[in-house]
Amino acid sequence: MASCKGKCLLNNPKGFVDAHHPNHVYRLKNALYGLKQAPRAWYEHLTKFLVDNNYTRGSVDKTLFIKRDNDELFIAQIYVDDIVFGSTNNTKVQQFVDVMSHEFEMSLVGELSYFLGLQIRQLDDGIFITQVKYAKNLVKKFGLEKAKHCDTPMSTTLKLSKDASGKSVDQTLYRGMIGSLLYLTASRSDISFSVGVCAKYQSDPKESHLSSVKRVIRFVNGTSNYGIWYSFNTNPSLVGYSDADWAGNCDDRKSTSGGCFFLGNNLVSWFCKKQNSISLSTAEAEYIAARSGCTQLIWMKQMLVDYGFNQGSLTLFCDNMSAINISKNPVQHSRTKHIDIRHHFIRELVENKCIVLEHVGTNDQLVDLFTKPLDATRFKTLSRSIGICLME
């Protein structure tokens, strides 16, 4: 800190008064921890330090740092002041710790077991990621630890809407529930759709909405020990699934796009999002969902290059033959001319063989978990298929 001369109009806070210069104020030369500028200042300093030490920044993810030495690979992922790192050679790991320790104060260095609320168990045949502690605290926070458990997070018979005639509830409580559940979806993709639907009504929640959110929490209460399993017995092939629930929104009849993406047999990304426009047919809704899936696949393909995995033609599975045929037909006709041009870039990807759209049977469509409420049997089957399980 440096001082500058000036006249104080207000008294300085206790502890900040200079006995020799009581009328002076302090001017900050560096951003303090906790201020908005702090993460940027920290990241710029850390980036410069790592680059000067021959670590390469990722081409897509700028918080990823890589160092290659022949066939050996070191990777560090930065999240503000938390760092996850690993290497194919333990010597590289120790070198990174030594380099960082000379410049920064390091703590909790060791095998990854806890990161940003995620609990990680590293086993011989895979990795299990869960949020058991967080899930139990969430249920206790909202007083539902003794409530009856549910088999599914959302009822198949109840369609949520704005419910204009319903009784309003406390917005702060409702938003707190939604925010807590959204963080839980980091390891519990099986509740992503349910939480997303309930999150749309945060501006004016009603009793019906609150009841639905409580059902999700009751489901979490009965499955708090569940998490997502990543097996080592897999391959580096990237594939995706896309689907849409046509006109599923009761308020504006917009469709919901969904997608999930696997590296080998491990789920690495997923999304469920209401479409921006109203689709006039199931094929159009599925086509728009496929476009979103292609966008995600291309981005992931570019990111995998930094990790040393080069993908060829990517496969996207879709259960609608009409949408697949539209992607293969470059001719604009009456059935497709109303579709926004931004969705048609999928045709170029298919023509250049960057993406291959394949048909998948309805029973094998994994994205149903992210686009619609399901009965207990179907829900459990799909949850197991994407890696959600109980680890004793």
Helix axes 207-222, 132-141, angle to 10 degrees: 140
**pLDDT at 2 (0 to 100):** 36
25 band by pLDDT with thresholds 50, 70 and 90: confident
Q: Answer yes or no: is 369 within a domain.
A: no
Q: How far apart are CA 100 and CA 172, in angstroms?
A: 42
Do residues 349 and 275 share a domain?
yes
Q: Answer yes or no: is 12 within a domain.
A: yes
Q: Which two tokens stand for residue 98?
A: 């030594």
Distances (CA, A) of 155 to 150, 213, 214, 271: 10, 11, 12, 20
9 band by pLDDT with thresholds 50, 70 and 90: very low
How many structural domains is the chain composed of?
A: 4
What's the chain's average pLDDT? Answer: 87
User: Which phi and psi angles does 310 have, rounded to 5°?
Assistant: -100, 120
**pLDDT at 108 (0 to 100):** 73
As a three-state string, the secondary structure of 244-257 is EECCCCCCCCCCEE
**pLDDT at 37 (0 to 100):** 75
Do residues 240 and 327 share a domain?
yes
**pLDDT at 38 (0 to 100):** 77
**pLDDT at 367 (0 to 100):** 95
**pLDDT at 171 (0 to 100):** 94
**pLDDT at 79 (0 to 100):** 85
Please provide the size of the chain in residues. Answer: 392
- What Rg do the C-alpha atoms of the chain give, in angstroms? 25
Position with higher pLDDT, 326 vs 23: 326
Do residues 240 and 348 share a domain?
yes
Do residues 6 and 61 share a domain?
no
Do residues 192 and 240 share a domain?
no
Range of the domain at 160: 130-222
- Please enumerate, as own/partner, the contacts of 271-275 that have beta carbons within 8 Å and a separation of 24 or more: 271/296, 271/370, 272/192, 272/193, 272/196, 272/370, 272/371, 273/196, 274/200, 274/249, 275/244
Q: Which two tokens stand for residue 162?
A: 């704005």
Position with higher pLDDT, 210 vs 308: 210
**Which of 93-97, 290-294, 357-361, 377-381 has the lowest average pLDDT?**
93-97
Is 368 strand, coil or helix?
helix
